[in-house]
C-alpha cells in the first residue's frame, strides 16, 4: 500500500537535490575564481533507480515477505560538467590571462532555467501522484462506513 508513497517521496527528494544544484549553478554563473583558483564548473545531478536491499530480496525469496516492493529513484552522484570554460576578452579583469582573456564558468543561464522548469514540473507531477495515492487510501478506508 505504501510503495507508491515511497516511490513518489524518493522522486521528490531527488528533484529537490536537482533544483538545489541548478540554483547553485545559476548563482555561480559569473564566478571566475573558486578556492582552487579556477572558474566555477557547472554541476550535473545523475539519478539512478533505487533498488531493494539484498536483505529485502532474500526475505521475499525464502517466503518471509510475500509483498512486492518497488524501487524509486535516488541521486547517484553530482558530477562536474567537463565542457570547456567560456573565454571572454576583458584585459581589465583581475583574472585575465596574459592575452587579456578571462575564463568564465561553463554555465549557460538559459539551459539552467530550462532544467529548473523541468525539475519543477517533475516535482509537481510527483506531488500530484502522492496526493492521488493518499486520496485512494483515504477512500479505501471509507468503503466500510
Q: What is the secondary structure of the chain as a DSSP string?
A: --HHHHHHHHHHHHHHHHHHHHHHHHHTTT----TTSSPP--EEEEEEEEPPPHHHHHHHHTTS--S----EEEEEEEEE--SPPEEEE-TTSTT--TTSEEEE-S--HHHHHHHHHHHHHHHHHHHHHHHHHHHHHHHHHHTT-
How much is the pTM? 0.81
Summarised one tens digit per residue, pLDDT across range 63-118 is 665 555 567 888 999 999 999 999 999 999 999 999 999 999 999 999 999 999 99
Q: Check whether 130 has a pLDDT greater than 60.
A: yes
Amino acid at each position: 500500500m505504501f510503495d507508491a508513497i515511497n516511490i513518489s517521496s524518493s522522486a521528490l527528494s531527488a528533484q529537490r537535490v536537482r533544483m538545489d544544484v541548478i540554483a547553485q549553478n545559476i548563482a555561480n554563473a559569473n564566478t571566475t575564481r573558486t578556492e582552487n583558483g579556477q572558474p566555477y564548473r557547472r554541476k550535473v545531478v545523475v539519478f539512478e533507480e533505487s533498488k531493494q536491499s539484498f536483505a529485502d530480496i532474500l526475505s521475499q525469496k525464502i517466503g518471509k515477505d510475500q509483498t512486492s516492493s518497488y524501487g524509486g529513484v535516488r541521486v547517484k552522484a553530482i558530477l562536474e560538467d567537463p565542457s570547456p570554460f567560456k573565454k571572454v576578452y576583458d584585459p581589465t579583469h583581475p583574472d585575465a590571462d596574459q592575452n587579456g582573456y578571462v575564463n568564465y564558468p561553463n554555465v549557460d543561464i538559459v539551459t539552467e532555467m530550462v532544467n529548473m522548469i523541468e525539475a519543477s514540473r517533475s516535482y509537481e507531477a510527483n506531488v500530484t501522484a502522492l496526493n492521488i495515492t493518499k486520496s485512494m487510501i483515504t477512500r479505501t478506508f471509507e468503503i466500510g462506513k
